[in-house]
Structure 1
Amino acid sequence: MELVVKQLGLVEYEPTWRAMQALTDARGADTPDELWLLEHPPVFTQGQAGKPEHVLQVTDIPIVPIDRGGQVTYHGPGQLVGYLMVDLSRRKLGVREFVRRIEQSLIDLLADLGITAYGKVDAPGVYVNTAGVEAKIASLGLRIRNGKSYHGLALNVAMDLTPFSYINPCGYAGLAVTQLKDLGVDSTPASLAPQLAAKINALLAQEGSASVADYALATKPATV
């Protein structure tokens, strides 16, 4: 049950978000799952529980309130964004396991690039530690509605990280943020997209075993 992978290039945030919602609302029992890989022009997105105090400086970069979980984050050119429209019920995947597998796909990709990365139970996303300093290199933010996901992940590849200083990234004051370019990897989002798609497809192909408790979460935003 492979994902249908679409590479969309550089696309505006709001129309892409609305298209995710429309696909999720229209899908039936046999609708294929999809992975959209893309970049966005500069934009801040604020999750449903987002607190305004996490925006430290107002700029000309738009702030878009959206329906995923979590706090505020930044998207911009040079960041690989992956949106996952997945029927978790059909794959027998609970929310927690789904998040873990997305994180693992990023960790595996980074390992192939010679970078040791890890996830954190108390602060979802993917992190690296260089010279004793922990920094976030990828974030996750999902919406699960009727057992089906949209939104997804963002991996910092080769971008201007300055806008992250205008916010508390994902609601964490003082959180350091890094990217592949600063870790010595000369890649682009487009060049990494096929590798990431392969990692995600492989991990989601593994048989799931969602619990009743997991499915009880499946109509709520995932705060990640």
Structure 2
Amino acid sequence: MCGRYTLTVTLEELLLRYSVDSVNAPFHEPRYNISPSQMVITVLNDGQNNRIGKLKWGLTPPWAKDLKTSTINARAETLLQKSSFKIPFLKKRCLIPADSFFEWKPTANGKQPMRIMMNSEEIFSFAGIYETWTGSDGTKVSGVAVITTEPNQTVSEIHNRMPLILKPEDEKIWLDRTVQDPSVLMPLLQPYSADQMKCYAVSTEVGNVKNDSKRCIKELV
């Protein structure tokens, strides 16, 4: 499960990280508590260049009657089995930039929110898939789902799933729409190395989607 994450960097840092031209770049300001159904920064490739834009967090298959069937996560193990995910996995892949995500750790005093990130505190990329749903009135909604996988050792003490974080060297392959061979794509879907990640406890304030400030990422001491 991945239901909250952060992207606290500037737009300029994003453009540099993903080698994106500033032309047509979307508005962005640091976010400290990104939640489902919101518009989120994504990176796609048009066949020649990386492009940055925003998609709704929640993928709805084209045949769905309404947006109530949207899915925020897609299990790596079922990408080729579920019709909602198979075509997006093979043909409509994207990167979802982040610099941390939250999971809730069970404790004797209740669930404790934890912030999980790279040791370097640098930007990383969730593996995402996207799809466009068209309503009966012609309204189009393009939504994205974060792929999840089994947790590494850092995350396993907190939760039984974690978002699929791509190695930087695998991002180009993931964005390449000409690559549609499952035998090439599936090996990319492995839990990120635990020794490169860290975590710490944060305030329960992050549990409220209305809260989106630096207080959400402040370490509890």
Using structure 1 for the length normalisation, give the TM-score. 0.28
Q: Which has the higher contact order (CA 8 A, sep 6+)?
A: 1
Higher strand share: 2
Using structure 2 for the length normalisation, give the TM-score. 0.28
